[in-house]
Amino acid sequence: MKRFCLKATVAAVCVGIAAAASAESNYVNGAATSSPGAVAHVDFTVIIPKILYLRVGTGSPYWPANSTLATVNTVDLVTFTVTPAVLGNGSAVAGTGGDLTGGAVTAAVVSNSGNVTLVASALGAMNNGGTDTINFTDILTASAVLNSATALPAPGLTNTTSTSIVLTAPASKVIKQDAKWTYTYANTSLPPAGTYGGVNTQNGRITYTATMP
């Protein structure tokens, strides 16, 4: 049985608006036959903080409204069970688990301060509690459109840190992009028997990290 976990690290996700206003009064008078005018002013300031939201798997709602962006500390488990009939023959093995089931998870980035860089990191190859290992390069990620017009690309998994993916912000500096990420086990080798990875054990966890300026 091949298992691994997914963890998304999430930066600040709160949105606040502060408004400061100053007011004045003005008094004028004139002759009964005149038309005096009075003027008053109000100044406003709106303060928008930087936000960066990353979701991989179970998380707070984000589409279409983003007012519920929040931290959710749930880590999904995706499990691949390889049967003897196909073991090591190169037939990709579908997973179970994930918030979208079938080895698939929701992936999303929401930000408002320019480009976002996305990477995936591991502490090493998955092991079965001993010296036997399976490389994370054997776990493949397919990205498909979910809500946004363009699917959020997925970093390729490795035993260390993946190649960075840079999401280029439009002129508005706002990024709101998601995808359905589906994981499969490549099944191209014949590893020793055992259960590799697990719930934050035996190097079974991948950490996704998003950063922005």
Domain limits for position 101? 2-14+51-211
Which are the contacts of 196, defined by CB distance < 8 A and separation ≥ 6? Answer: 1, 2, 3, 4, 126, 127, 128, 132, 133, 134, 202, 204
Q: Report whether pLDDT(116) > 80.
A: yes
Q: Is residue 41 part of a domain?
A: no
Is the pLDDT at 212 greater than 50? The verdict is: yes
Model confidence at 9: pLDDT above 70: no
pLDDT of 95 reads 98
Q: Model confidence at 17, in pLDDT bands (50, 70, 90)?
A: very low
Is residue 201 situated within a structural domain?
yes
Average pLDDT over residues 146-168: 97
Q: What is the DSSP string of 161-190?
A: BPPPEEEPP-TT--EEEEEEEEEEE---S-
Lowest mean pLDDT: which of 35-49, 133-147, 179-193?
35-49
Mean pLDDT calculated for residue range 172-179: 97
Is position 27 within any domain?
Answer: no
Question: Is 151 among the domain residues?
Answer: yes
56-84 average pLDDT score? 91
Q: Residue 109 contacts by C-beta under 8 Å, 6 or more apart in sequence? A: 52, 53, 54, 55, 116, 118, 152, 167, 175, 176, 177, 178, 210
Residue 13 has pLDDT above 50, yes or no: no
Quick one: pLDDT at residue 23?
57
| pTM: predicted TM-score of the whole model, two decimal places | 0.83
Q: Is 115 a member of any domain?
A: yes
In a domain, 23, yes or no: no
Split into its structural domains, the chain has a count of 1
Res. 69 pLDDT band, cuts 50 70 90: confident
Closest among 132, 122, 142 to 189, alpha carbons compared: 132
Q: Other CB atoms closer than 10 Å to residue 50's CB: what's the count?
A: 14
